[in-house]
A and B are shown apart, each in its own frame.
Chain A
Amino acid sequence: MFGYRYDTETGLYYLQSRYYNPEWGRFINADALGGQVGELLSHNIFAYCSNNPIVFNDQSGYNREIMCDGGGGGALIYAAVSGGLADCLRGLLYGFVGTIESIATGALVRNYINSISSSQTKAKTKTKTVASTNTNSQNSKYLRAKVTHPGADVYVDQPLNLQSARMILEIGGDVYANNAADAQALCIAVGGGFTGPTNDGNPLSAMHYHPLSYAARGHVFFGKDPNLKFVTIFK
């Protein structure tokens, strides 16, 4: 159906041109065609159907296509089956609650959506608390960080100077820099230059640099990547 082929060994779907990971809700290979001008989401080369699996499907791995209209209920079920629940939830988050509520799938679906919306509101509240913690961070170029795979924690209460940030990288630790330029400067200070930025091909990973020295397994995260979690440890 729809040209999707499930690989029981890898747990991935093959869509004629690339593999799709239903757990991540993302392709694991980049889009060969790239984005289109005027369609911002299309520039995310790992996104599935512009993050909207309820309205679109992608039979070839190259282009999203609008699924049958008037079949909203079917689309919801289809998205849940083919794209995974994560895609469903993501679709809801992107503003399709109204669309789905209008379909004739009865109170059960509406209640389900309401419960999801409620939990999403709670999640937003929690994120706000963390974000407000971030505003208290000290004005340091560097902070301690820790990769959590796939994301990373940034310790806003642990400022570092260049020397201490460099030492942490040299023993395989992770650091956060305010911006890309500071991240690059730090990698250069470690020695040998840098590679990146990269998210290792995983859209759930935060963008980072690596110093180009042999032992440097440490990451230098930077900026306001949504996959970074700003936390306080000591206070």
Chain B
Amino acid sequence: MSVRIGIIISKDYDYKNIKDFKNKYDLGFFKIFNKYVNNQLLEDEMFLQATKTGCDSLTGIGAYDLYIKDVSLIYQNIDDELIAQSVVDEFEERKQKYKADVLRWIEIINILKNIYKVNKLGLFWHMCSEAFDQEKITFSNRMSCEIKDITAEYMMKIKPDTIIFFY
């Protein structure tokens, strides 16, 4: 099982336009044919894999519970002080990565909507146990969020299998 980010985009959008943009942000945007997802999308929507990697475990999207985790117990449960401190330091490092990742995604969403004029743009995350094209994904909700209302906390609080459309 691995965390993966999916993008829902307007089917008619010529995403050759965003080739340089994809490279700059090291995005995948691979078109994925997943019959379970396709059956739940509207006619004008298309499903893309957001990143190039098969695992987005360090994304900040949906990571709120981890971000606010109390790690003080680590010091009590790991006897070796050096290791305990290193574990906590690594946790803080991951927290920074979560934060940086959601800020990056906010930037990406803003650019796609405002500069590249992508009409429909949705985002979701899912805990995958199969390849993205085979995974049985059942969306629990479709929600909308105005771009001006996106915050790092909002991105971190996105629930799994919920598509957020930005407008």
C-alpha spacing A26/B82, complex, angstroms: 40
Residue positions of B touching A, CB distance < 8 A: 1-3, 15-16, 19, 28-31, 53-55, 57-58, 63, 65-66, 69, 71, 73-74, 77-78, 80, 82-83, 86-87, 90-91, 94, 128-129, 131, 133
A149 nearest in chain B by CB position: B53
Q: Which residues of chain B are within 8 angstroms of A69 by Cβ–Cβ distance?
A: none
Contact among B19, B73, B129, B133 for A198, CB-based, below 8 A: B129
The answer to the question of A22 belonging to the interface, with a C-beta cut-off of 8 Å to chain B, is no
Q: Which residues of chain B are within 8 angstroms of A170 by Cβ–Cβ distance?
A: 69
The answer to the question of A29 belonging to the interface, with a C-beta cut-off of 8 Å to chain B, is yes
Interface string of A57-95 (1 = CB under 8 A from B): 000000000000000000000000000000000000000
The answer to the question of A201 belonging to the interface, with a C-beta cut-off of 8 Å to chain B, is yes
Name 6 A/B residue pairs within 8 A (Cβ), A-sorted. A144-B87, A147-B57, A158-B86, A164-B74, A170-B69, A217-B57
Contact among A149, A172, A212 for B1, CB-based, below 8 A: A212
Q: Are A200 and B2 in contact, CB atoms less than 8 angstroms apart? A: yes
Contact among A30, A149, A214, A219 for B65, CB-based, below 8 A: A214
C-alpha spacing A48/B28, complex, angstroms: 21
Q: Which residues of chain B are within 8 angstroms of A12 by Cβ–Cβ distance?
A: 30
The answer to the question of A146 belonging to the interface, with a C-beta cut-off of 8 Å to chain B, is yes
Nearest Cβ distance between residue A200 and chain B, in whole angstroms?
4
